[in-house]
Amino acid sequence: MLDTFTLGYHPNETENLTEDPELQRKLHGPSIRALAKAAGMSTKTVKAARQWKRLRRSTIDKLEKALLSGLPLKKTRTRSAEIRFTLDDPE
């Protein structure tokens, strides 16, 4: 007699980050390398998460855990439009 194996489909195994817009916003805080190192995954996976790609639930859990660990945020540059110069009146 043959032993058969039926492959089952589990639609909830991978999820989109659209379900959690707060997590999606938080993913853009730290740098890609720092987040990947803290979560123990590749930078390619972190980039996929930032682009709202489908990820495994365990990957999302690792990212959430890494974000809660208190990673430093990226240093942002000031835009030239935000810099204002004032000139003294020659009067």
Half-sphere exposure at residue 71, Cβ-oriented, CA atoms within 13 angstroms? 23
At 11 the pLDDT is: 64
At 20 the pLDDT is 78
pLDDT of residue 14: 59
Give pTM, 2 decimals: 0.61
* pLDDT of 43: 94
pLDDT at 22: 86
Q: Is residue 51 part of a domain?
A: yes
Domain of 48 in residue numbering reads as 15-68
Note the pLDDT of residue 84: 58
User: Beta-carbon neighbour count of residue 18 at 10 Å?
Assistant: 9
Give the total number of structural domains in the chain. 1
Q: Has residue 79 been placed in a domain?
A: no
Low-confidence residues of the chain: pLDDT under 50: none
Cα 43 to Cα 12: distance, rounded to the nearest angstrom: 24
User: In this structure, how many other beta carbons lie within 10 angstroms of the beta carbon of residue 59?
Assistant: 18
Neighbours of 48 (CB within 10 A): 16
Q: With respect to residue 20, please indicate whether it lies within any of the assigned structural domains.
A: yes
Q: Which residues, in sequence order, are CB contacts of 62 under 8 Å at separation 6+? A: 39, 40, 41
What pLDDT score does 21 carry?
Answer: 82
Q: What's the CATH code of the domain at 51?
A: 1.10.260
